[in-house]
Chain A
Amino acid sequence: MSGSCVPFQVGDLVKVTQMFPLGHNRTPRYIMGHTGEICQVVGEFANPEELAYGRKGFPKKMLYRVRFDQASIWPEYGGAPQDKLEIELYQHWLAPASNRGVKT
């Protein structure tokens, strides 16, 4: 399943799509399948998955900063319960989510 085309807003819950396209991408595996909250709509940027192969990067992709609870990413997380991780993710890697919760 690929991500959503509908723009997200700050506060929206999103789930990072698990997909393993061949070639370059900027979504680390550790975050795939996890649900977080949009904390910033950064703007549109040339798609790095196209740029990496000398193409123009069009269509541009909306980039978001997404916030996750550390404890939801790492089952063995040893820090404080309020610790967070923020990461930049592109539109096509995100799907709407209705609730937080563990990776499915």
Chain B
Amino acid sequence: MSIDHGHVHNHGPAAKDHDDSLTYWRAMEIALRELLIEKRIFSADAVRSAVEAMDSRTPENGARLVARAWIDPGFKARLLADGSTAAQEMGFEVGTLKLMVIENTSSVHNLVVCTLCSCYPRMLIGLPPTWYKSPAYRKRAVREPRAVLREFGTVIPDNVEVRVHDSTADLRYMILPLRPSGTEGWTEEQLVPLVTRDSLIGVTAARMPARS
């Protein structure tokens, strides 16, 4: 056996690590965190549990609100009137930021972007996808939303209004997608898996039920 393990091919360069670049901001974060731990402002364990709490928030939390709204008109009305209070009613702790739930209808399709940074309802559904934070999405979602939607496979007919929500300040937006047809009589538990993260941002519709 030779050093090239007995066969000839090209492995190519090793994949890059995600965290191999010590950028200015990364160095700043590490320095600040270590300093605050050293000064006993907070503990390393508190940082770890805060990260853990953030990671435990998933789009399924949002999916649960949507599924409840689909089967319970009273809850839907409360969710649209005051998202934070309705989320608390279902046991979700959403903090002080206001959750604003916007309803898709047969005549208006809604889409969320934060052009200034990456505002997102993290307090309910966790961290945003990488593309949501990309300059390309942030620039294009406001000026050519229909082209962006098409790239997600979402074609909105011209007779339906596309309404973009630029999340610039104190509200955090989540979309209430249209309930897919063919789900009449479904339970809340059956409906939850149809609500994807992307449908909560508004770049896609909710999943159609699998044909049986």
Contact = CB atoms under 8 A, between A and B. Distances in A.
Interface in B127-166: 142-147, 158-166
Interface in A4-26: 26
Interface of A: 26-28, 30-31, 42, 45, 48, 63, 65, 70, 73-74, 77-80, 82-90
B169 interface: yes
Contacts of B166: 28, 31, 85-88
B116 interface: yes
A83 B116 contact: no
Interface of B: 98, 115-116, 142-147, 158-171
7 contacts: A42-B170, A45-B169, A45-B170, A65-B171, A70-B145, A82-B161, A85-B164
Contacts, number: 73
A83 B169 contact: no
Contacts of B167: 88
Interface of B is mostly: mixed
A65 B29 CA distance: 34
Contact of A78 (B147, B160, B171): B147
B168 A78 contact: no
Contact of A80 (B98, B144, B161): B161
Contacts of B144: 77-79
A26 B116 contact: yes
A65 B158 CA distance: 25
Contacts of A80: 146, 158-162
Contacts of A88: 166-171
